[in-house]
Amino acid sequence: MRFDYHTRYRQGFALLKHPADWVNYGVLLAALLVVPLVASNYFVGELSYVLILCVASLGLMTLSGFTGQISLGHASFVAIGAYGHAWLLAHGVPFILALPLAALISAGAGLVVGIPAIRVSGLYLAMVTLAFSIVVEQVIGMWRGVTGGFMGMLVETPSIAGISLGSPKVFYYLCLLVVVLVLLALANLLRSGIGRAFTGVRDSEAAAYALGIEVKRMKVGAFGLSAGITGLAGALMAHHIGYLTPDAFTLLLSLDLVLMVVIGGMGSLRGAILGAVLISMLPNGVALLKDVLPQSMARQSGLEIFVAGAVLAFFVLFEPTGLNGRWMKIRALLENFPLYRRDTFRRQKAYMKSERNR
């Protein structure tokens, strides 16, 4: 077991707690940078998609994991980001500007949805966001001049400094850059006063209010931030899809995002990433599974849904803290081997239980 012996006050603010973490994450980043040089275009394309979902998952984690607000409509922010980005590109806005602008448009929409979120929470908030996503889907279908309606709209393939984004490898590096930037921004934000305020609002609104935190502003702000990040993912998704139609952004995508943050582990950035990787790789896993299953079973339709449901049920029953919780347990086991204390992660106090998981 590692102990933190801080000799200076600022050490408590460090981005990564241990020097070894810098090495580990450095190696991971280096590996991700090298992948396109050695892997096939197909693999690189798959990884790009995983990275896009990581951004979206981080967006929802900001809302659900850190401020405890539930959203079943995050696909609509992906859609707003995607359509906003494609529209800006089509109107001659350079890619470098269109990407953040799309995020801003989506963040604006997030603020609008965030306002009712001050008044409702829990199931009611879930219903509000669900209704919002249905409205957005209809608006996209009807607003032909901007979105191309149900027939869809083509996304232009821009080039940055003469390098076309159409190449899978270039696109991969772009996605990786965005993920790293978003991750760093969120990690820093969460260590700042705002991040602490988010967590405070999640754990107890009353206590946060008593401490002088502007609860309403935090809740709306979290919605805007979350929508902005998700919109950024949408802008990247637009390039992944290449031709936007409303059926890319249905409830299925929203539910996938919720699955990611729940399975990943609420309240952890690492969980958001792990969840996105697991959920996006699930279809590949099922495809592999089908190869070994007997023909009669492999050809059944709906196997994918069954596996996704089984995975979710498994996590809810056996690992409520998600992949992140499991990761920490495994790490603790390895660090202390062979001296593992079974009760290390047993929860001692059910703190403020009534207000958790709102």
Give how far the C-alpha of residue 322 lies from the chain's centroid of Cα atoms, to the nearest Å: 14
Is 303 among the residues that bind other proteins (CB under 8 A)? yes
Given candidates 36, 49, 178, 230, which one binds other proteins under the rule CB under 8 A?
49
Q: State how beta strands 243-244 and 159-160 pair.
A: unpaired
Segment contacting other proteins by CB under 8 A, of 65-73, 151-159, 207-215, 218-226:
151-159
Segment contacting other proteins by CB under 8 A, of 207-215, 301-309, 324-332, 344-352:
301-309
Is 287 among the residues that bind other proteins (CB under 8 A)? yes
Least distance in angstroms from the C-beta of 64 to other proteins: 21
Given candidates 74, 85, 219, 240, which one binds other proteins under the rule CB under 8 A?
240
Is 42 among the residues that bind other proteins (CB under 8 A)? yes
Q: Which helix (H) or strand (E) holds 160?
A: strand 159-160
| Close Cβ partners of 336 (under 8 Å, ≥ 6 residues apart) | 1
Phi, psi (5° rounding) for residue 159? -125, 145
Segment contacting other proteins by CB under 8 A, of 150-158, 178-186, 220-228, 262-270:
150-158
| Close Cβ partners of 134 (under 8 Å, ≥ 6 residues apart) | none
> Would you tell me the crossing angle of helices 269-292 and 41-60 to the nearest 10 degrees?
140
Question: What residue spans of the chain are helical by DSSP H?
Answer: 19-38, 41-60, 74-90, 95-119, 123-142, 144-147, 168-191, 193-203, 205-210, 215-241, 251-264, 269-292, 295-298, 303-318, 322-336
Residue 116 vs 149, nearer CB to other proteins: 149
Residue 206 vs 287, nearer CB to other proteins: 287
Residue 119 vs 299, nearer CB to other proteins: 299
Name residues contacting other proteins, limited to 115-144 (CB under 8 A). 141
| Structure-derived torsion over alpha carbons of residues 54, 60, 63, 68, reported in degrees to the nearest 10 | -100
How many residues in the shown chain lie near other proteins by CB under 8 A? 36
Is 252 among the residues that bind other proteins (CB under 8 A)? yes
Segment contacting other proteins by CB under 8 A, of 12-20, 109-117, 215-223, 238-246:
238-246
Q: Which residues bind other proteins (CB under 8 A)?
A: 40-43, 45-46, 49, 141, 149-152, 154, 168, 237, 240-248, 250, 252-253, 283, 286-287, 299, 301-305
